[in-house]
């Protein structure tokens, strides 16, 4: 078994002291024991230079070895490993998070995690979800048996469907309200994706404000409204098919402002009379609550 290079425990670099000693022994074997190889001698200088060159080659060998390990690869090399998993680096993403995506650190369902990531990487996609119905009957969302539903806002239908086709294997159906014809390597296949209807809502939130435990005054109503609008948008927006409830709104506010209590929530869909929460949202719908549609009133 080799001591240096690729070993069962990884790649071991040969130390420059060992390299130099081996070179000196080789010189003795060639020219005899009388050869002068002190550091100051010409032969000693040559040995030192050649040993440094060989040491750098060992370092290069280690770098090449590490390039195949996602836990050690960096930069472009790490991106090359990611492409083997059909994963692309998101703009601004660090090596740490890309490495976690490759190794699926902390994720139980590898396939779904990769699938979701691939959809969110499609240019223009602002929201994505992957739903799978593994049962032999239609589920509560109306998703057909043994099918996958790809839900997305933004992006190109063709690009999303092409990505989805790589993950939805033949024999498994796709479910959605938008049919897209795809062709890969001359093979055609229809893929359905779900384009949820954006449902604008308006909210009238009644609250009670108190000083916090440190005696600090409560925030203004405008700050509470802004906090709620942020919680209902972007990465934390409610999913498609998720009802807007008093609990949802209360949690969004109290997590930031613990001294604020939500008493009631009224509102509804734009153009409809106000009613009390919850506000039902169907599976093929997604709520949108911009700041301009939120009124916060303190009693």
pLDDT in tens, 25-79: 999 999 998 899 998 999 999 999 999 999 999 999 988 888 888 888 888 888 9
Looking at residues 108-120, what average pLDDT do you find?
Answer: 74
Q: Within a domain: residue 100? A: no
Neighbouring-strand partners of residue 297:
206
Q: Within a domain: residue 9? A: yes
The pLDDT tens digits of the residues spanning 211-256 come to 888 888 989 999 999 999 999 999 899 999 999 999 999 999 999 9
One-letter-per-residue 3-state SS of 145-161:
CCEEEEEEECCCHHHHH
Claim to verify: residue 209 and residue 262 sit in the same structural domain: yes
Claim to verify: residue 17 and residue 44 sit in the same structural domain: yes
Rounded to whole angstroms, how far apart are CA atoms 127 and 110? 20
Claim to verify: residue 160 and residue 232 sit in the same structural domain: no
Q: Within a domain: residue 40? A: yes
Q: Quote the distance between the C-alpha of residue 184 and its chain's center.
A: 26
Listed residues 157, 192, 227: the one ending a domain: 192
Claim to verify: residue 41 and residue 58 sit in the same structural domain: yes
Report pTM: 0.65
| DSSP secondary structure, 212-260, as one string | -TT-PPPPPHHHHHHHHHHHTSGGGSPPTT--B-HHHHHHHHHTT-TTE
Claim to verify: residue 267 and residue 215 sit in the same structural domain: yes
Q: Within a domain: residue 151? A: yes
Listed residues 192, 215, 234: the one ending a domain: 192
Listed residues 139, 162, 192: the one ending a domain: 192
Claim to verify: residue 167 and residue 219 sit in the same structural domain: no
Claim to verify: residue 147 and residue 238 sit in the same structural domain: no
Q: Within a domain: residue 95? A: no
Three-state DSSP at 24 gives helix
CA distances from 4 to 7, 18, 19, 67 (A): 7, 11, 11, 18
Claim to verify: residue 291 and residue 212 sit in the same structural domain: yes
List the end-to-end C-alpha distance of the chain, in Å, as a whole number: 79
The pLDDT tens digits of the residues spanning 142-199 come to 999 999 999 999 999 999 999 999 888 888 899 999 999 998 778 899 999 999 999 9
**Residues listed for the chain:** 299
Domain containing residue 61: 3-65
Q: Within a domain: residue 79? A: no
pLDDT at residue 1 in the model: 58
pLDDT at residue 10 in the model: 83
Rounded to whole angstroms, how far apart are CA atoms 107 and 93? 18
Whether residue 97 contacts residue 120, with contact meaning beta carbons closer than 8 Å, is answered with no
Rounded to whole angstroms, how far apart are CA atoms 76 and 81? 9
Three-state DSSP at 90 gives coil
Three-state DSSP at 183 gives strand
| DSSP designation for 172 | S
Q: Within a domain: residue 29? A: yes
CA distances from 286 to 113, 239, 243, 279 (A): 22, 6, 9, 11
How much is the CA Rg of the chain, to the nearest whole Å?
31
Checking if the pLDDT of 108 tops 50, the result is no
Query: How many domains in the chain?
Result: 3
Q: Using CB atoms within 10 Å of the CB of residue 2, give its burial: 0 to 12 exposed, 13 to 18 middle, 19+ buried.
A: exposed
Q: Within a domain: residue 76? A: no
């Amino acid at each position: 078994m080799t001591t240096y290079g690729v070993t069962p425990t990884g790649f071991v670099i040969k130390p420059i002291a060992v390299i130099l000693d081996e070179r000196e022994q080789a010189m003795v074997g060639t020219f005899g024991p009388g050869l002068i190889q002190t550091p100051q001698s010409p032969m000693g200088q040559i040995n030192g230079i050649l040993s440094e060159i060989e040491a750098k080659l060992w370092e290069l060998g280690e770098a090449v070895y590490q390039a195949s390990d996602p836990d050690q690869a960096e930069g472009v090399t790490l991106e090359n490993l990611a492409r083997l998993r059909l994963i692309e680096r998101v703009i601004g993403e660090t090596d740490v998070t890309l490495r976690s995506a490759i190794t699926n650190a902390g994720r139980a369902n590898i396939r779904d995690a990769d699938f979701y990531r691939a959809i969110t990487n499609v240019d223009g996609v602002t929201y994505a979800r992957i739903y799978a119905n593994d049962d032999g009957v239609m589920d509560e969302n109306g998703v057909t048996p043994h099918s996958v539903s790809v839900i997305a806002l933004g992006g190109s239908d063709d690009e999303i469907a092409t990505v989805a086709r790589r993950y939805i294997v033949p024999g498994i159906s796709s479910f959605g309200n938008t049919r897209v014809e795809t062709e890969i390597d001359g093979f055609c296949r229809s893929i359905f994706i779900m384009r949820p209807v954006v449902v604008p809502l308006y909210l009238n939130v009644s609250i009670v404000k108190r000083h916090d435990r440190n005696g600090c005054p409560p925030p203004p109503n405008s700050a509470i409204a802004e906090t709620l609008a942020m919680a209902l948008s972007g990465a934390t927006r409610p999913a498609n098919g998720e009802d807007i409830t008093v609990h949802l709104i209360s949690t969004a506010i109290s997590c930031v402002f613990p001294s604020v209590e939500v008493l009631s929530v009224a509102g509804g869909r734009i153009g409809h009379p106000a009613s009390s929460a919850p506000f039902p949202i169907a599976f093929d719908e997604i709520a949108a609550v911009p700041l301009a549609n939120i009124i916060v009133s303190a009693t």
